[in-house]
Amino acid sequence: MTLLHLFDLDGTLMYGSAAPVEISRQLGLTDEIAQLERAFVAREIGPHEFSLAAQKLWTDLTPAHVRAAFEGAPWISGIREVWQEIRERGDYCAVISLSPSFFVELLLEWGAHAAHGSVFPEVPFTRPVDMAGILTPEGKVTVADRLCAQFGVERSDCVAYGDSSTDVALFEAVPRSVAVNARPYLVEKATHVYEGRDLREAYQLTGVARTGVEAS
């Protein structure tokens, strides 16, 4: 059976942080993005409002800032090793995140078969973000369905990895899921629970990992 592994980014592949936070750090805007993050977590604003406000903060953003944010982010260990094994097994791995596409898509360099984020204009910005391209938690399921069609698998062949409320809909849509350093309400919906900083250990919980992908 061919499997499709679906990974969240913020708080899942990235330990204790999120792409917007790391991007804003490069611009000296940590306080401003923290305020937006708090409003989003409290559900005072949704993905569309958050994305629009974030783009306004990032007026001076350049590709160099994005690359520095990516390279300096607190990634958990073992991402490339897990994705390499997934590829060697003939399975598929993809990232689905509400974070900006220009950041999320950099994970293709690490071996993901696909990487989908909220669609932002090319950096530096010359036009406003199109709200139609902003992902929602429910939109993650829509993207997952498109990936299933692309790779010739079903929802029943999917494994989801996530940490927060933005992953609830996807966890409810697939039969296997791994809550990675997750909030209690997501833990309740997961088939496996992992606390730590090595994706290889989380991946082993699915029961498909080879011994060669064990954390060192």
- CA-wise closest residue to 102 among 23, 40, 157, 171: 23
- Looking at the structure, tell me whether residues 49 and 121 fall in a common domain: no
pLDDT value, residue 80? 98
End residue of a domain, out of 71, 88, 108: 71
Using one digit for the tens of pLDDT, what is the confidence trace for 156-194? 999 999 999 999 999 999 999 999 999 999 999 999 999
Question: pLDDT value at position 14?
Answer: 98
CATH number reported for the structural domain that contains residue 93 in this entry: 3.40.50.1000
> Same domain for 47 and 118?
no
63: preceding bond cis by omega (within 30 degrees): no
Residue 94 token pair = 């993809």
pTM: 0.95
Residue 61 has pLDDT above 70, yes or no: yes
Q: Identify whether residues 58 and 126 lie together within a single domain.
A: no
The number of angstroms, rounded, from the C-alpha of 180 to the middle of its chain's C-alpha atoms is: 12
Average pLDDT over residues 8-36: 98
Per-residue pLDDT at 208 exceeds 90: no
For the chain, how far is it from start to end, CA to CA, in angstroms?
28
Last residue of a domain, one of 71, 87, 108: 71
Which domain, by its residues, includes 131? 4-15+75-213
Residue type, 42: A
- Domain boundary (34, 55, 71) is at 71
Q: Do 49 and 101 share a structural domain?
A: no
How long a stretch of residues is the chain?
216
Domain count, the chain: 2
Over residues 23-59, the pLDDT tens digits come to 999 999 999 999 999 999 999 999 999 999 999 999 9
Dihedral of alpha carbons 189, 194, 196, 198, sign: negative
pLDDT of residue 209: 74
